Amino acid sequence: MASLIEELKLPKNNLQEFHDLTIRVLNYMPAIISTQAEERGYILCTSQAAGTLKYIRPIKSKLFLFKDNDFSLNFNLFLDIISNLRIRNKDKLNENSYLIIDSVAYTIQQSIGVGFDLLGDPNSSRKHVGNRFEELLRLIVSELGISNKKIVFKIPYDTEEGEKLYSCETDIIISPYGEVISDMQSLNLKEIIISSKTTSKDRMGKVFLDKILMERFFNHDVKLVAIFLNDVQRATRKDGTQTISYTLVSGLFMVYTEFLVKLDGVYFIDPPPNTMLQPLNRHIFTFSKNACCFCSV
């Protein structure tokens, strides 16, 4: 069996692999966590080992399933919910169903982040964490029975040396058809681009600019949805104690939305509190509601 850090770095091919990896992290955490404190609904943990102190990313206590049995139980319920959504049966969904969707997806992705916090190199871990998030979303979409594909659009531009191609990479394209029709040079009007980001910090502008760029290139409206894990990070008070801060720049989001371009959906698995308030609550929603929206594709 691969070591835990090796397993964290490996691409995942199905949801069961994500389940098994999450169980490994959940069972590893109690042995390595040194301190634990709650701050505004988040658990702040540290690990002291071999003379090295490591800080773990904030964990939302309402969403994270710390016990392996609880996670496995909810994971199976999650699969049942996805199965109902696959046959477009939304009648059995309720607020508890939405919580299960969000908590299972959050526990999987956040456990991967925690695993890298404990075992990985910070500089190389970010890309792995982002890749696992993209894979997780793509597998959920596939489990819903929705055709999807990753496409790199090739956009030509002139240079002194002649025409060159700019690679505009998409995370996921979902389609209402039996298979994705879009290709490197075209985007079908009914197909939707999903941009997956673990956080909007330093990345929000690119999501908006990608939509503008592709609409200019394809010369038609482009449907683009952004899915974020969360927008929260550790912060240090003046007295040196640890707290949290939210990283969503709401003013910038609204300026982009009103003066650049409107995205076709913005969803958080762990939404910052200000997204519940006007005007953000007209544009930003929870991930579980997004899963239901997929069914109308």
**How high is the pLDDT of residue 79?**
96
**Banded model confidence at residue 111, pLDDT cuts 50, 70, 90:** very high
240 against 63, higher pLDDT:
63
Full-model pTM: 0.95
* Per-residue pLDDT reduced to its tens digit, 155-164: 889 999 999 9
Virtual CA dihedral for 126, 128, 132, 138, nearest 10 degrees? 90
Q: How many CB atoms lie within 10 A of CB 84?
A: 16
What does the alpha-carbon distance between residue 157 and residue 197 come to, in Å, rounded to a whole number? Answer: 27
Virtual CA dihedral for 254, 256, 259, 262, nearest 10 degrees? -90
Q: How many CB atoms lie within 10 A of CB 113?
A: 24
